[in-house]
């Protein structure tokens, strides 16, 4: 399916960001500090990720509703896609409690508000953005939709880096988690439906 090609590229880039060796400091620290410094030059940066995430959520809702009404045979996948986004978010919240990693803005100046009561790993914004993108790609099945959603999701992740409230590895892990959960759930439902209602 061509629509999932952008997701494969993003997943590979996220894995590389997590495991790539780098001399002296980690790649995550270098990118995080550079992005946080650049964020001071971006007007309204503290609203960027939130605004884009709302736009992406609206886009995902439109795609899922379109699939619900235009292709009734895919309604189980629509439900799986929406459910997967919620499950990915809950898993991300559990990860924050488990790893209890402080935000980079507790170490360096940041353009965004620093919520010291909330941990940073993994990024909820990245998780939600990429889970929604995955649902759009698999359920919607159109390359243009998947590419548009992927671009929005990347912008959401970049926005969190520019705010200085997440490390690179936070958003990379959030992206991977956000792609894995919907993929597994939607494909499980699709396979189950095929076994229950095999094609003639």
Rounded to the nearest integer, the mean pLDDT of the chain is 88
Which pTM does this prediction carry? Answer: 0.89
In this model, does residue 18 exceed pLDDT 60?
Answer: yes
pLDDT tier at 66, thresholds 50, 70, 90: very high
Neighbouring residues of 105: CB distance < 8 A, sequence distance ≥ 6: 36, 112, 114, 163, 164, 165
Q: Which residues constitute the domain of residue 190?
A: 2-196
Percent of the chain with pLDDT strictly greater than 70: 94
Q: Any idea what the CATH number is for the domain that residue 38 is in?
A: 1.20.144
Indicate whether 200 pLDDT > 60.
Answer: no
Contact call for residues 91 and 200 (beta carbons, < 8 A): no
Q: Identify the pLDDT of residue 67.
A: 93
Q: What is the DSSP string of 80-122?
A: HHHHHHHHHHHHHHHHHHHH-PPPGGGTS--SS---TTS--SS
The per-residue pLDDT for 198 is: 59
Q: Which two tokens stand for residue 167?
A: 């490390």
Q: Structural domain tally of the chain? A: 1
Closest to 162 measured CA to CA, from 119, 117, 116, 105: 105
Q: DSSP state, 40?
A: T
What average pLDDT does the segment 113-138 reach? 92
Q: Is 122:173 a contact under the CB 8 Å cutoff?
A: yes
């Amino acid at each position: 399916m061509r629509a999932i090609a952008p997701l494969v590229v993003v997943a590979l880039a996220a894995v590389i960001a997590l495991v790539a060796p780098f001399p002296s400091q980690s790649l995550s620290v270098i990118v995080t500090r550079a992005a946080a410094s650049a964020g001071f030059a971006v007007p309204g940066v503290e609203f960027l990720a939130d605004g884009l995430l709302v736009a992406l959520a609206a886009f995902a809702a439109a795609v899922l509703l379109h699939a619900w009404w235009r292709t009734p045979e895919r309604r189980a996948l629509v439900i799986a896609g929406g459910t997967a986004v919620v499950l990915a978010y809950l898993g991300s919240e559990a990860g924050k409690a488990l790893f209890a990693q402080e935000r980079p803005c507790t170490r360096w100046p940041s353009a965004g508000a620093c919520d010291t009561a909330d941990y940073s790993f993994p990024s909820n914004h990245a998780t939600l953005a990429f889970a929604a993108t995955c649902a759009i790609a698999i359920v919607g099945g159109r390359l243009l939709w998947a590419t548009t959603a992927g671009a929005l999701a990347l912008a959401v992740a970049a926005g969190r880096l520019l705010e200085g409230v997440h490390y690179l590895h936070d958003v990379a892990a959030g992206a991977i988690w956000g792609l894995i959960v919907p993929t597994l759930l939607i494909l499980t439902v699709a396979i189950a439906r095929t076994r229950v209602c095999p094609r003639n």
